[in-house]
Structure 1
Amino acid sequence: MKYIYKKKNYKLFFYVLDAFLSAGVFIAKLFFKKRNTDIKNILVIRIDHIGDVINASIVLEPIRKTFPFARIDFLAPSWAYSIVEHNPFIDKVIKFVPPWFSRPSRGIFAQIKGVAALSKIIKVGGYDAVIDLRGDFRHILAMFIVRVQCRVGYGITGGKALLTNSPEYRDIILHESIRNLELLKSIGVSAPSAELKLYFSQTAENNAKQILRDFNIFKKYIVFHMFPGHESKVWEFEKFFTVMKHVWEQKKLIPVIIGGREDREKIEALIQKSSLNIPRIVNLAGMAGLGEVYYILRGADIFIGVDSAPAHLSAIAGAKTIVLFSGINEPRQWAPRASNVKIVFPGSGKSLANISAKDVCGVIDEIFWGTITEE
């Protein structure tokens, strides 16, 4: 059995636990009658970061096509709610923020309360099938406690014996969106040509247009995202400003910086300290939600950012997208997948400090002119 834990004691614990669970489930099957397997109510779970929820959304259209008359709900964390809020292939989005996503992580009693809360959501929903796309033991345990008849997931953190449908987790490099689709095969869902799409409200589009009007941005702008969720994905700000100077001098593109509300003051301070000879740099950090950011990216000439949610939004929005991808992760598994995406990768295990501003300027030049920047 494949476990994704890095610590050996965790692997050993869940190996032993799964052995006991397998024996228990086998015995239980001898005494409990198998229930009806008609699937009429489905819950899809992806409690994770925004980029992970984006990659998870690829399963929704194929599920709807296979089960056209079923009720399909999606369980998402509050910070990624808007990613699936307007998806036409689901009936309802349920917000759930488990304690295991708190920083610092909470103790065992909080974990138990979280599993109990999730079990209640599943029970109240009356779901015939629950699909956990994260492969989380706590999610698996919750659906088993409620005795959901069709329990789908990867047992990569333990609990495989508690699942009714658990295909092999192939130990090869696969993009997360493809791995999500592979899981569905166990319930008869096939989607060889599925692609990622996002759906946001008309209000979000109108708000995005108004934001651009308020800053007198009507065309020829480049969007930057400088602050990732993890320090290992940070690229030096001086290099970002060097790239801004390059695109202004070469293409007269207005730099527009996006980010969270907590980034706004930091960005303002960095702009003030910079000595760039650019008429203006627009700081939109904290001024636009995910839907507004998506539509702002649709109108951009290009996007440059670190490995984070806006890079996925840009790729799907259709903007020319350059992603600075740290060597701590494998881009073939986690990076946005689209023909409009260029990945700048320092190499496995290497930090973004190994990527120079000249490297990024060269990719920009190649996109616009098919040439590489000279010294």
Structure 2
Amino acid sequence: MGFRPGSEWHQFRTLWTYRYRKYTHIAGKFVSFALKYIHLQRLKLKAGGRPLVAIILSEQMGDIIACEPVARDVRQRHPDAYIIWVVREAYIELVKHHPDLDGYLVEKCPSERMWLIRSGIYDKVYNLHISHRKCKYCPEDPINPTADQIGLTFDNYYHRGDLLYMFSQAAGLPALTDEPRMYIPEPVRERVASLKLPARPIVIHCQSSHVLRDWPAENWNRLVQWLIDTYRYPVVEIGLKPVVHINDSQYISVCGQLNLLETAEVIRHARLFVGIDSGPAHMANAGGTESVLLLGKLFDFVDYLPYSGRYKRGEGVTILNKFGYPCAELPYEWVQQAVAQRLGQPKFV
């Protein structure tokens, strides 16, 4: 077969690239499942008869941070158990240092997760996932019977309450409402201190993994310029890629330079966090940081609140939502006014 020109060749290459990745993934899943099953068997032997308990919430960042109280609740229920958190590789840091966990297991995909659950290797499972979030390569459709029994779906989950409240019920636990916490070890704090960032900055996070949660870049640039012109506080932008492009010594971008716990440590030291509905907003809640958060209509969810604890009680936070409109249509003046109210009158030296 010869090379095909133009769009036909592109389609041909795309198809076979997908097939290669699919079959490589499926083959790798068999190997990964077998190795993890053996690893968990050995773990149970080393645990000396302690029951093996799995908390399963492998993604997303904000979901895992919000559901941190689950680990504390499960430890109270199983004080003598060997408790692990099943997580995707990108989010290991969020559970690695939790004092109520004995370890973690890296999940390859939802299909592998279901194989391990059905194998009976776990003595008790708390599966926080909602049914039908499939792997893009595997044919299996992951099911959580507990979530199905209470009618929890991706179409209604935000109508049920905050992330912790509804995910804990999906796992068969009571509806939890506790404060989330972050566990940041001393070496991480030392690395952040070595960056010598300004003390008590305003920290901003401007871009999420979903465009429906974002606020326009021109608004962020305008807000940062106003902050620099009006207040003495420096502004530090976190995230993967900078949205603000201002040439001023009071603006600092650490985008793409920090891991998850380092990001949380920067937020923890902030005078004020201003951000969209995303993982760093959950870090701010868990770290006790005063915040202004920008929300908007997300699919069919209009009046929703992802946060438990202090943010749910309205303590130390201003949550802005132009109900029925996406975050992109949140008026700039609303955000500026909310930030000004949190910062108070400018104090010039």
Give the corresponding residue for 1:74: 85
Distance, in Å, in 2 between the alignment partners of 1:130 and 1:251 is 50
Q: Indicate whether 1:332 and 2:316 are aligned.
A: no
| Among candidates 197, 200, 208, match of residue 192 of structure 2 | 208
Offset from partner CA, 1:13-56 (integer Å, 9 cap, x none): xxxxxxxxxxxxxxxxxxxxxxxxx9922111112211111122
Offset from partner CA, 1:331-367 (integer Å, 9 cap, x none): 634246521222111212x122322222111001211
Give the corresponding residue for 1:128: 123
Shift of residue 143 of structure 1?
9.4
Give the corresponding residue for 1:13: none
SS in 2 for 1:324: strand
Q: Indicate whether 1:47 and 2:58 are aligned.
A: yes
Give the corresponding residue for 2:329: 354
Q: Indicate whether 1:95 and 2:106 are aligned.
A: yes
Offset from partner CA, 1:279-336 (integer Å, 9 cap, x none): 3321100111111111111111111111111111112111111111121244634246
Unaligned runs of 5+ in 2: 1-48, 135-139
Give the corresponding residue for 2:259: 289
Give the corresponding residue for 2:11: none
SS in 2 for 1:334: coil
Asked whether the 8 Å contact 1:325–1:331 carries over to 2, the reply is: no
Distance, in Å, in 1 between the alignment partners of 2:250 and 2:69 is 38
Give the corresponding residue for 2:198: 218
Q: 1:142 to 1:66 in 2, by over 3 A?
A: farther
Give the corresponding residue for 1:342: 318
Give the corresponding residue for 1:321: 291
Give the corresponding residue for 2:96: 85
Distance, in Å, in 1 between the alignment partners of 2:345 and 2:160 is 31
Shift of residue 202 of structure 1?
1.5
Give the corresponding residue for 1:364: 339
What RMSD, in angstroms, separates the aligned Cα atoms of the two structures?
A: 3.0
Q: 1:312 to 1:336 in 2, by over 3 A?
A: farther
How many residues align? The count is 283
Shift of residue 126 of structure 1?
2.2
Asked whether the 8 Å contact 1:62–1:190 carries over to 2, the reply is: no
What does 1:124-203 correspond to in 2, within 5 Å? 126-137=121-132, 153-155=146-148, 166-167=149-150, 169=152, 172-183=159-170, 186=172, 194-203=178-187
Letter in 2 for 1:312: H
Distance, in Å, in 2 between the alignment partners of 1:220 and 1:77 is 32
TM-score (norm 2): 0.72
SS in 1 for 2:193: helix
Percent sequence identity over matched residues? 18
SS in 2 for 1:353: helix
Unaligned runs of 5+ in 1: 1-37, 99-113, 145-150, 156-165
Shift of residue 72 of structure 1?
1.2
Distance, in Å, in 2 between the alignment partners of 1:191 and 1:335 is 14
Give the corresponding residue for 2:42: none
SS in 2 for 1:332: coil
Asked whether the 8 Å contact 1:224–1:305 carries over to 2, the reply is: yes
TM-score (norm 1): 0.67
